[in-house]
A and B are shown apart, each in its own frame.
Chain A
Amino acid sequence: MSTHLPDAEALCVALAEAMRPHVDPAATALVGIHTGGVWVAERLHAALGLKIPPGSINVSFYRDDYNQRGLHANAKTSQIPFDVEGAHIVIVDDVLYTGRTIRAAMNELFDYGRPAKIDLAVLTDRGGRELPIAPSFCPHSLTLPADQMLALERAADGGLSFRVIKE
């Protein structure tokens, strides 16, 4: 099973190369979605040599399934260390699935201001979209059954890898 999983480290490199022609190191800002997206955003920030420090977003206050799932303790704070007004922002996540997390992240960003442009960068697209959302940069795709979750993990040494969790 694990042999079918993509190499997360290689995908980080490929994603950075796909983005490079489209980012301005002095003006483009990254926002990673907790938790996996924040790790990927850190990699991209270093690889692309961006000047603006990366932001992070915890979308749990904006999720549309709050009434079913409730609010779980999550000490992760959204931190946007730059002015969103008029900015070019790339939302970064590990896996693109239904699109609901991305919608929540965009709603949240607009509560900080009106960005000039938002792009979406993900390591992989696993299909199963429920909203009309498409990635701007995505070096990989795969198809997974609905009862499986693809999760990014970070080892103690900082290495990133994918794991499949069966529900």
Chain B
Amino acid sequence: MQKSPQLNSHGELQHLLTIEGLPRDVLTRILDTAAPFSEVAEREVKKVPLLRGKSVFNLFFENSTRTRTTFEIAAKRLSADVINLNINTSSANKGETLLDTADNLAAMQADMFVVRHASSGAPFLIAQHMAATGRDHIHVVNAGDGRHAHPTQGLLDMYTIRHYKTDFTQLTIAIVGDVLHSRVARSQIHALTTLGVPEVRVIAPKTLLPTGIERLGVRVFHDMREGLRGVDVIMMLRLQNERMQGALLPSTQEYFKSYGLTPEKLALAKPDAIVMHPGPMNRGVEIDSAVADGGQAVILPQVTFGIAVRMAVMAMLAGN
């Protein structure tokens, strides 16, 4: 069996690049580790000294305020020194390559890179480069790469589901929307199937589904009403306007009519179903305000849990 590049020789997490291929016990361990971190935020001093003296570089080659901020808060609550680099406004524009940027930061004694990049595989490339040049002590966290993966989002979604629903093996879960352009959806599907969710549904128009998605072990629905029937969890995806190329959709109004989550469609799910969204939301496009602000939405708790999950991931990596 090929060894996952994310795991060291002891099977411990060295980098977090993707959820795909991570064993169930590693996923569960991350979720277990995140639980006590969520309590740190309720203290007088919202900090623990685990990463004191470590330097965490947030390398954002693509904009994201929320993800960068939650990684920054997580690292700071672990007492790390955090350096934020928005590279689309920096050296990359002057022609520096990805690995040259990483080498330069490694020469500044970086301990961890949190990488967001528009190209799939960029964080993997950095991790591989660090290993090939004998710098195994530098850890890499993928904060979203192209259409590939967004593992900490997938993990915080799993943490949220477990918080409200406890047992993954009893659930029917629907992922709704722009699966084609969504790295979040890929991470969610891998996590849900690894954790033993018996039925994962994806609900989307044909134009927003990658071909062969069924091979990931999901049931495909094109009719949202049919797909939502009896589900325990609804995971909405953002309609990725800025990624749209060509005419995949007639109009956002048309999309809302067919695939927007309204109170009336939500009523088809189980009465205690929860509604999730990775943010930022397009109100009136994929989700109705009455649902987004309603009692079944757990969208803001997702953000809070995201900090604890990112703290757990960074603390586990730095200790391995």
State the 8 A-B residue pairs at the shortest beta-carbon distance, nearest first: A70-B319, A61-B48, A111-B45, A71-B319, A73-B29, A73-B32, A77-B36, A75-B32
CB within 8 Å of A: which B22-67 residues: 28-29, 32-33, 35-37, 39-40, 43-45, 47-50
11 contacts between A and B (CB under 8 A): A61-B36, A61-B37, A61-B50, A66-B319, A70-B319, A75-B33, A75-B36, A79-B39, A107-B49, A110-B45, A111-B44
Task: Pick from B36, B44, B320: contact of A58, CB below 8 A.
Answer: B36
Do B48 and A75 touch (CB < 8 A)? no
**Chain B residues near A161 (CB-CB < 8 A):** none
Chain A CB within 8 A of B12 CB: yes
Q: Is the CB of A113 within 8 A of B44?
A: yes
Chain A's nearest CB lies how many Å from the CB of B8?
A: 11
Specify which of B35, B318, B319, B320 lies most central, judged by the most chain A CB atoms within 10 Å of its CB.
B319
A positions within 8 Å CB-CB of B = 58, 60-62, 66-67, 69-71, 73-79, 84, 107-108, 110-113
Closest to A58 in B: B36
Which single member of A58, A70, A74, A107 contacts B12 (CB below 8 Å)?
Answer: A70
A112:B45 contact, CB within 8 angstroms:
yes
Nearest CB in chain B: distance from A37 CB, A: 16
**What is the bound-complex CA distance between A33 and B47, given in angstroms?**
19
**Minimal beta-carbon separation of B134 from chain A (angstroms):** 19
Interface SS majority for chain B: helix
B37 proximity list for chain A (CB < 8 A)? 61
**Known contacts A66-B319, A111-B45; is A71 also within 8 Å of B36 by CB?**
no
| Chain B residues within 8 Å of chain A by Cβ, number | 22
A145 to B62 Cα, complex, angstroms:
57
- Bound together, the chains give a CA A109 to CA B247 distance in angstroms of 59
Given contacts A71-B315, A112-B43, contact A76 B36 (CB under 8 A): yes
- Among A74, A111, A113, which residue has its beta carbon within 8 angstroms of that of B33? A74
Tell me whether B35 and A77 are in contact (CB under 8 A).
Answer: yes
Interface flags, B60-92, vs A, CB<8A=1, else 0? 000000000000000000000000000000000
Residues of the A chain whose Cβ atoms lie less than 8 Å from the Cβ of B318: 71
Given A70-B316, A71-B316, does the pair A78, B44 have CB atoms closer than 8 Å?
A: no
A66 to B37, CA, bound (A): 16
The residues of B that contact A70 with a CB separation of less than 8 Å are 12, 316, 319-320
